[in-house]
Amino acid sequence: MDERWSRRLAARAEARRAEGLWRNRPTLAPDASLRDFAGNDYLGLAADPRLAEAQAEGARRFGAGARASHLVCGHLAIHETLEHRLAELTGRPRALLFSTGYMANLGTLQALCDRHTPVFQDRLNHASLLDGARLAGAPSRRFHHRDLDDLARLLARAPGDAPRLVASDGVFSMDGDTADIEGLAGTCRHHGAWLMIDDAHGLGVLGERGDGCVGRAHGPGDVPILVGTLGKALGSAGAFVAGSETLIEHLIQFARPYVYTTAQPPGVAAATLAALDILAAEPERRARLFDRIARFRREAATLGLPLAESTTPIQPILLGDNATVMRWAGRLHEAGLRVGAIRAPTVPRGEARLRITLSAAHDDEALDALLEGLDACRREVTP
């Protein structure tokens, strides 16, 4: 390796280790015996045999791969069917499939914005929203988390003639709290901005029918740009943008992360269709998830654990410093429990936390083990 490159890589690795921020990537064996409280499989669908069967059947019928991008010859009838189902679920005229949520956010912001289009972002927005504005060359203005007054102040200061866009997570991925959709929509209307909500963690969980924190409750007049992901509660992979005919056609024409990539494998689309059928047919899964959340919060509060204000499956334990988070996560790992150990730059410095996620698939024994493990950490591990 060239000397300059090896020096650069070594310096960056050393700085990251010195801050206690080095990340290790666990490799999971198929029979991984740890109980999972770190994933986003909120409805327990990722391992559902019906999704696996639909995926296999989709691959047998249409091929393992889509063969090309959507605009060339990769857009198959099963993608089209899935787009119709997603538009219907979210109450929008149209939906457009993307390969990942990261690409949906990049593509949407890049296609809509340029350096004259300020993007107003909640400070805790997902990295892909920030990166999308960068790809567009658009300036990001960050408003305080869930602070509508701060947003209104920033909007009022922006020049009036250029279009402007407000982007927010629907459910904040590291905090579990939700955006005030109605308040955001009102502020956007007042200041003539378009609102984009990334409902990655709300879709399948929140809303009357699992249609998310936006869904049918807040139509395209309130939220013209809705992003949902399919690899979390829906247990498969991919993402979509839902909105007007004009918006979707614009993305098809101009969103480079849509145009220049191979369409998702048809079996994946088939698995998502199976997941949507289960979402509609088995509302008890969502009821069970909310029962799990209520039990966890009740008993964790009794133990005096530093919970966040969250009513969603994302239940952070706010510990603060990196070393404590790593010690708690290590102790839980020894007890057979996997939780997320979240540090900067994913969250602001000094706000490190365990990210615990609950699922309809967790039985009472799993919750018992988690609460016992956390209680042991509280008693033994804190300095």
Ligand X SMILES: *Cc1c(COP(=O)(O)O)cnc(C)c1O
Which residue ranges make up the annotated binding site for pyridoxal 5'-phosphate?
Answer: 101-102, 173, 201, 229
Is 250 one of the annotated active-site residues of the chain?
no
Tokens of 133: 């504005």
The one segment of 96-104, 180-188, 203-211, 352-360 that binds ligand X by CB under 6 A: 96-104
b (16+ CB within 10 A) / e for 169-189: bbbbbbbbbbbebeebbebbe
**Does 198 interact with ligand X (rule: CB under 6 A)?**
yes
Among 45, 82, 200, 300, interactor with ligand X by CB under 6 A: 200
Is 232 one of the annotated active-site residues of the chain?
yes
**Does 177 interact with ligand X (rule: CB under 6 A)?**
no
- d(CA 270, CA 250) in angstroms, rounded, equals 26
User: Could you write out the DSSP letters of every residue in 222-250?
Assistant: T-SEEEEESSSTTSS--EEEEE-HHHHHH
Question: Among residue numbers 224 through 263, which ones bind ligand X (CB under 6 A)?
Answer: 229, 231, 239
Q: How far is the CB of 160 from ligand X (least distance, A)?
A: 30
Q: 358 and 313 in contact (C-beta within 8 Å)?
A: yes
**Does 146 interact with ligand X (rule: CB under 6 A)?**
no
- Omega of the bond leading into 306 within 30 degrees of 0 (cis): no
CA–centroid distance for 86 within its chain: 17
**Does 101 interact with ligand X (rule: CB under 6 A)?**
yes
Short-list 166, 137, 169, 144, CA closest to 224: 166
Rank residues 199 and 327 by Cβ distance to ligand X and give the closer one: 199
Return binding residues.
Answer: 23, 101-102, 126, 173, 201, 229, 346
Amino acid at the residue 11: A
- Nearest residue to ligand X by CB is 101
Helix H or strand E encompassing 332: helix 322-334
Q: Which long-range contacts (CB under 8 A, 24 or more apart) does 24-31 make?
A: 26/338
Among 122, 169, 175, 351, interactor with ligand X by CB under 6 A: 169
Q: How far is the CB of 227 from ligand X (least distance, A)?
A: 7
Is 99 one of the annotated active-site residues of the chain?
no
Question: Among residue numbers 290 through 309, which ones bind ligand X (CB under 6 A)?
Answer: none
Question: Among residue numbers 119 through 138, which ones bind ligand X (CB under 6 A)?
Answer: 126, 128
The binding site for ligand X (CB under 6 A) comprises 100-102, 105, 126, 128, 169, 173, 198, 200-201, 229, 231, 239
Active site members: 173, 201, 232
